[in-house]
Amino acid sequence: MRVLLLEDDRELAGAVAGALRRSGLAVDVAVTLAAADEAFDLTAYDAAILDRTLPDGDALDLVHRRRGQGWQVPVLFLTARDTVADRVAGFEVGGDDYLVKPFAVPELVARVRGLCRRSGTTRPAVIEVADLRIDSARHEVLRAGVRLTLTPKEFGVLELLAARQATVVTRTDLVEHCWDEMADPMSNVVDVVVAQLRRKLGPPALLHTVRGVGYRLDAG
């Protein structure tokens, strides 16, 4: 799952982006409304985290305009503006959640992952494929009752494949949803992560390669 973080405090942006990446999310960072607006035109995000007060305006205006155009990306406002009127304004323009600074990073991560699961079609918090159990809320994977130790990127890839189980997910889809803008789409990063996942999942095989297309997770 991929999110956009709009935050002009670079130190805070780095800390938040790092925490989200460690939870298995891909994160792009913008520091201005203009940059965020352009990113939304180029990339299909699962959620957006928006500071309100930016050098070039208020993120409320960006969300209000895009909601009027049918934009449906879940939005969490992350801001120091903490009055009831501020919060109400955030929800009225189409925000889905509102978190006031200072905040607890684990709470932010949990809220953002919840928003990501709501994007597009509803994704269950727990997905089971044969004897494989992926618990997105707990960030936990079990195979035949045994807990697997996955890296954040491995978890992110598996989570996407599980959400689309029995259908082929292309390498392009995996790059767009599980890697951020710094990833080289021509590299073999997807193949490396899939190979690691396949090894950790063990037999019988659940992760299948569809040659020339992508990958599929199912028991078949």
In the chain, ranges of CATH 1.10.10.10 domains: 126-217
Superfamily name and number for 2-118: Response regulator (3.40.50.2300)
pLDDT per residue as tens digits for the range 79-126? 888 899 999 999 999 999 999 988 898 899 889 988 887 665 445 678
Buried b (16+ CB within 10 A) or exposed e, 12-48: ebeebbebbbebbbbbbbbbebebbeebbeebebbbb
Query: For residue range 69-91, what is the model confidence (pLDDT) as tens digits?
Result: 889 899 999 988 889 999 999 99
Query: Where in the sequence of the chain do the CATH 3.40.50.2300 domains occur?
Result: 2-118
Q: Is there a contact between 160 and 169 (Cβ–Cβ < 8 Å)? A: yes
Query: pLDDT tens digits for 126-185?
Result: 888 999 999 877 788 999 999 999 988 899 899 889 988 888 998 888 888 888 766 665
DSSP lists the bridge partners of residue 99 as 78
In sequence order, what are the residues at sequence separation of 6 or more whose Cβ sits closer than 8 angstroms to the Cβ of residue 178?
1, 2, 26, 153, 156, 157, 160
Global pTM? 0.67
Q: Which CATH architecture has domain 126-217?
A: Orthogonal Bundle (1.10)
108 contact partners, CB below 8 Å, separation of at least 6: 16, 19, 49, 76, 78, 99
